[in-house]
Structure 1
Amino acid sequence: MKKIIFLLAITLGMFSCEEDGALDNEVDNYSGPDVTYFTDGASGSYFVTPAEEPATIQIGSTTTSASDRTFTVVVDAASTATSGVDYSLATTSVTIPANEYFAEIDVQGIFAGVTPEGTNLLLSLEGNGPIEATYNLSIIQLCESDLAGMYSVTTTYGYHDFLPTFSTNTQDVEIMEVDDATYFIQDFSGGLYDGGPYSAPYGTGPDSFDVTFTENCGTIAWENQSDPWGSVVQQPGTTSTVDFDSGVITISWFCNGYGENGVSVYTPL
């Protein structure tokens, strides 16, 4: 579980300590009032990846108690983050156990809902005793692209000149990384142009249908790519995507020159 590291920032003179640095290193030396606080201060950032590992927010108390202390987690109406879209909370209460100083709140990000621009989740606590401040958690979608490697690709053709012969084809291919989130595939046709029925009559080969594409948060896209007879585009009405759980890539392509098209499914080897 990822944990956001929190630092306690306390204004000079806010609390009374028996000696300098008591709150930093010697909690037992604290002699002020019992105050509950977010140990990270006022704010933090949570980057949600496809793995959706939760963010852990820590609360602390300046003193211990002989009994458990339970607080209600309150979401401020000024939050721009939406429950069930950007995040979820498994519980709206948090308990500092007896004789302990700290407890934790888990915030579960929802990758499909949160955006790269981010939203803010404003939290506060309600319970017995003084409670200091609120906490502003910025929830931001972080897309990590890592598609390079070997795949088994199966292509189902919607149209080409030799159907129904060669209606499907399976072969191994390599997806090569060009730059961050940018990749290269040799023979985007899945074998139709390289070793398939187009090779002999039309003279196509390994370099006849090379495509460079990008991946952004699970969506595959490309522009200014072509086969020998015209541009190659996303098949109308479809989306090319990556399944983050399985790593399977599904690409639907269409050749504007003569209408060749197909759906290629790439399974990691």
Structure 2
Amino acid sequence: MDALPFRLYGHRELARVEEQVLAATSRWLESWSGADGTLQVSATPAQLADVVSSAWLTAGEGQPALRADSGLYGFFSQLCFGAEKSRAALAASELAQPVLQAAMESWAAALTQAEQASAYSTEQAGEALAAIYTATGALWLEVRSGSQRLSALVSAACAAKMLPRPAPGPELAPLSLRELRLEGEVALEVYAAATGFTVQEAGTIRPGDVIRLDQRIGDAFELRLKDGSVVGRVEYGVSRARLAVRVAR
């Protein structure tokens, strides 16, 4: 049985990611550009159809994947050189190319809170990207400065670094099935961690919205009886084309 990635987001958490990306990009601009202007950031769940229709610059799974379009080169050339330059012009310049590469690495390091980022040396088609960029929880980032736009993908693990970690729940005492009455049947429920919404946010939920639970990727779900007693922990997956759970402990 294959384990399924599981990470969803509420509106407030997407807003939190946008705030963190905006702050990181603003700090990066202080070092790399004297350009004035207002930055705008949006974060939305990555859609497979959008990802596979584009080419991407990658530098390892710990860093954002950068959409390799005219917006990418226009964004960095405008902010670093004060003028929008084409990809061909940048590639032909012995001075511009290393500066552009260093700027990309520096922005990625600021975003991921890393001391140093790897070089963006590989361009890949969308369908060849690592699964972390299309799995549930990956985010599509848009950073705009004036008319310039930078598009990037971040994994769920990278996005998690921009969010406060939920407080751990109380440790529950184990319950043995041997303590239960053996006659009759019992119903078992798989319990996913809850998430909080304001009344206003709950009233705006629509089909297609993505809701993130307060549960990290890889954490097991609780297997409970009807009365709430925990009898084990399980992981979601697929078995014979049906949704299933695997007992973890």
TM-score, normalised on structure 2? 0.28
- Bigger Rg, structure 1 or 2: 1
* Structure number with higher helix proportion: 2
* Structure number with higher strand proportion: 1
